[in-house]
Structure 1
């Protein structure tokens, strides 16, 4: 049975990847930060072809060496582990350094120990493609070849810029590694926009991931409540998981970036979908139908090369929001 090594296996995207890999007949080894997280994940997955290894800190020196010594027969590695927070007051230490070092650690360990490795896929982000400033400049356009223009010294100013910077610094370090070391395996990157959608195994409405919390919070908005009308690109987590599995085995995905984006959203658009589907919830209305105007500030996106390669229809905004709300609501009841 073909073995796949997935870092950060308890994460939102990673759980969908693990589930899809197991359904597709792979053996999966996932890294987690603690035994508690590993045991909880193993219970959710409930599959004899899944096991976990503990990597407490992906940024620590040679963080993945022992686990890849133990599992040196892996054919594919999916590196999804990466720090994400917008609340830190130490952005360099909490975001930038671990993102870069974690990527270097997995690549060095793979090159040293995983001699049967065919491909390594890193979960990057659209944040590596444009900066948080340029993303909101409608005079600009971006595609799979684009990179944000954030400099290291500027990235340490605040958490948001640090996150965007960390994504480009980490991904660039991976491509530079491939060019300098020329290992026996090939590299692919998956660059998703905001990732929404139902959880793979279990939904705790009180502990939603950062993106789904936007939708979850809307379900508690009534009367004179207000909300932040965030805008950006979106993609369903199920499409992101499919892209990762596609990337490990498809020859055309080697040395490519898969820019996972299915258009632009505003939170108002999401609210409109929920209000139309469930008027009995009596949620706030906001400014109905303002979505098309809301997203006019955003830069243009061209991921036609990715769509041509993947050749399936991405899940649309309405389906994504409805599926997510249905899961959250069913868990609450």
Structure 2
């Protein structure tokens, strides 16, 4: 694990940080990094039954009194957010709604409300010094396969295939959720700093076997012979989930980072790349499907923003830079058969 090397920190070690959706693929890594660096964490869940493993796991690993649960029943639970934010020095709002529906009204308003509720809760507690939103690269661009530097700004259209709708609606929710962040910040001018991390497709080992949501599922499904994700998740950029967590922590703690969009994007991939690497990692596995034929690559140019994020990554943690696709995929298969 990379260790934090910041000479100055916006929030001193030992203070409390709120991480929403703490049982998620990304958020659980964020919690783990912060606990390892000496912070105390309050993590939100929708109910104790949602992740009964969470508190025992972190208590066993980091000791009693360093991790606790707060219940926020859903993203519209303003009172729950306000209670959870009490006495916190920092907030990382990572909770969202994963793409599983074609009903835009079931997703977008709640995600936008969640951003505002988390910000309003932060504003009611003077102890809060820093706020970070987990956004998404899809809040800035969608993959482009024909012409470089084209940005798709419609979340979906009437001609969008049904299989594409959940991810297009997810992109819309992240776009409007992040827009709410910057509009609120411009209006309210909070005393705390505000930043957003925009991760690409996350790859890497889940923190525990209990974490099965998020992008870890479609990647692991490939080695068991599943291929329906080929048409749903198109070629894009990727990031190792641990690198993504490091950038969230850097955005929270680095006093030089404020009002920034940090693009967690290590490089490009398509399914041909993933299957080629999986076949090298698991040469005896006959279930791995053939990749799509004539598969395109994402031509969107994100080199400049990727380089800036990598510079922040290396200045904040003792890591050499982005974790590559091969290592990230190998990690995603650790302890998985």
The TM-score, its normalising length taken from structure 2, stands at 0.83
Instruction: Give matches, 1:303-314, under 5 Å.
Output: 303=305, 304-311=307-314, 312-314=320-322
1:126 paired with 2:134, answer: no
1:259 paired with 2:263, answer: yes
Q: Which has the higher contact order (CA 8 A, sep 6+)?
A: 2
Of the three residues 180, 199, 202, the one matched with 2:206 is 199
* Structure 1 residue 80 displacement after superposition: 0.3
* Structure 1 residue 295 displacement after superposition: 4.3
How many pairs were matched up? 308
* Structure 1 residue 148 displacement after superposition: 5.8
1:76 paired with 2:90, answer: yes
CA offset digits 1:202-224 (Å, max 9, x no partner): 225xx7324122222121229xx
Tell me: CA distance 1:280–1:161, structure 2 relative to 1, closer, same or farther (3 Å): closer
Structure 1 residue ranges without an equivalent (≥5): none
Instruction: Show the counterpart of 1:53.
Output: 70
Of the three residues 162, 186, 202, the one matched with 2:193 is 186
Moved over 6 A (4+): 151-154
Instruction: Give matches, 1:1-333, under 5 Å.
Output: 1-46=14-59, 47=62, 48=64, 49-68=66-85, 72-85=86-99, 87-93=100-106, 95-112=107-124, 114-131=125-142, 135-141=143-149, 149-150=153-154, 158-200=165-207, 202-204=208-210, 208-221=212-225, 228=230, 230-284=234-288, 286=290, 294-302=295-303, 303=305, 304-311=307-314, 312-329=320-337
Partner SS state of residue 331, structure 2: helix
Tell me: CA distance 1:75–1:173, structure 2 relative to 1, closer, same or farther (3 Å): same
* Structure 1 residue 102 displacement after superposition: 0.2
Residues 265, 295 of structure 1: 8 Å contact kept: no
Structure 2 residue ranges without an equivalent (≥5): 1-13, 315-319
User: How large is the Cα RMSD of the aligned pairs?
Assistant: 2.7
CA offset digits 1:255-280 (Å, max 9, x no partner): 11110111111122111112112212
The TM-score, its normalising length taken from structure 1, stands at 0.84
CA distance, structure 2, for counterparts of residue 301 and residue 257 of structure 1:
13
CA offset digits 1:277-315 (Å, max 9, x no partner): 221223446259x8xx73434322222222233334111
Residues 193, 234 of structure 1: 8 Å contact kept: yes
CA offset digits 1:99-127 (Å, max 9, x no partner): 10000000011101x20111100000001
CA distance, structure 2, for counterparts of residue 51 and residue 284 of structure 1:
40
Residues 208, 216 of structure 1: 8 Å contact kept: no
CA offset digits 1:149-204 (Å, max 9, x no partner): 237998x994332211111111111111111111110101000000111011x225
CA distance, structure 1, for counterparts of residue 35 and residue 239 of structure 2:
22
Partner SS state of residue 321, structure 1: helix
CA distance, structure 2, for counterparts of residue 295 and residue 90 of structure 1:
28
CA distance, structure 2, for counterparts of residue 125 and residue 264 of structure 1:
15
Q: Give the structure with the higher percent helix.
A: 1
Residues 7, 31 of structure 1: 8 Å contact kept: yes
